[in-house]
Structure 1
Amino acid sequence: MDDKQLAEELRLTIGGLVRTVRAADTMPPGESAVLGYLDRGGPLTTAEIAQQRGVTHQSAAKTVKDLLARNFVRAEAHPGDGRKFLLHLTQAGRDRLADERRRRADWLGAAINTVLDADERRTLEAALPLLSRLSTHLHGT
């Protein structure tokens, strides 16, 4: 298999895995994405969230409004621009995100345990640093 074929197979396989895991989520994709961004990167504006998600400001604002109503995020005045608000993850949002991540990991872990034998699990574990390096490289380009 040449590099282009390998790349396409990797893209299809990882894409399929990600879509399958996300389909089992109990949270709407936009909500889990916003909570994840705030968890990983700290406070953000709605415009920054929209840019990171690649959605319109209106779409991000609707998601943020829903998260505010459920007390998963809180807004405070932006220190450098009074027209903007910084969104912060609340403890309730952090707990909800942790529950979703734990549920995903449990579900995927059960599948790994059911489908893969010990040698295959070790192979998968050995591939993780390689996938991480690829991801880091692609994220930086």
Structure 2
Amino acid sequence: MDDPSQPRSLRATALATELRATFGKLKRRMREQSNVGDLTPSQVSVLLRLEREGAATTSSLARAEGMRHQSMASVVAALEAAGLVSGGPDPNDGRQTLLSLTDACRRWVEEGRAARQDWLSRTLAARLDAQELDHLASAVELLKRLADD
């Protein structure tokens, strides 16, 4: 992969392929560290959106997630049945219901993040020496540049 004699575009393509595969594997490993239970990717996405952006209606969630209203309604119903979201009247429009995370869901999200953070911290400390940690820190700065607009 890291052959300096290759043209820059070929090196970038090879590196992009490796990064994508590695990030996917790392994401799966981190997901294993927290209990997402039987939640679907759509349900997880809705919970993360509600956490990040605050209360929302089913319609606004459907638009944001690129789903039909009926599909989002079934996602929301499952999350409500699991006790992860609850609905209340919209103070600006009483006909609307605003959905938000329950306290139990917030605790569950925090516990999952803590478990993933703990696993990653322990794994870094156990598998990388000081020089490798320095290299990784440099790589993280480069990844941040890629991620920023």
TM range (shorter): 0.7 to 0.9
Do the aligned partners of 2:84 and 2:101 also contact (CA within 8 Å) in 1?
yes
Q: 2:89, 2:97 within 8 Å by CA — same for their partners in 1?
A: yes
Amino acid at match of 2:87: A
Q: Which has the larger radius of gyration?
A: 2
Q: Give the alignment's Cα RMSD to 1 decimal.
A: 2.6
1:98 to partner: Cα distance: 0.2
CA distance in 2, matches of 1:99, 1:43: 21
Match of 1:37 in 2: 49
Q: 1:11 to 1:51 in 2, by over 3 A?
A: farther
| TM-score relative to the length of structure 1 | 0.75
* 1:1-141 map, 5 Å: 1=2, 2-27=11-36, 28=39, 29-53=41-65, 57-78=69-90, 84-137=96-149
Q: 1:16 to 1:58 in 2, by over 3 A?
A: farther
Q: Structure 1: which 5+ residue stretches go unaligned?
A: none
TM-score calculated relative to the size of structure 2? 0.72
**Structure 2 unaligned blocks of 5 or more:** 3-10
Read off the aligned partner of 2:47 and give its amino acid letter.
L
Residues matched between the structures, number: 137
Q: Percent identity between the aligned chains?
A: 39
Instruction: Give the 3-state SS of the residue equivalent to 2:144 in structure 1.
Output: helix
Higher relative helix content = 1
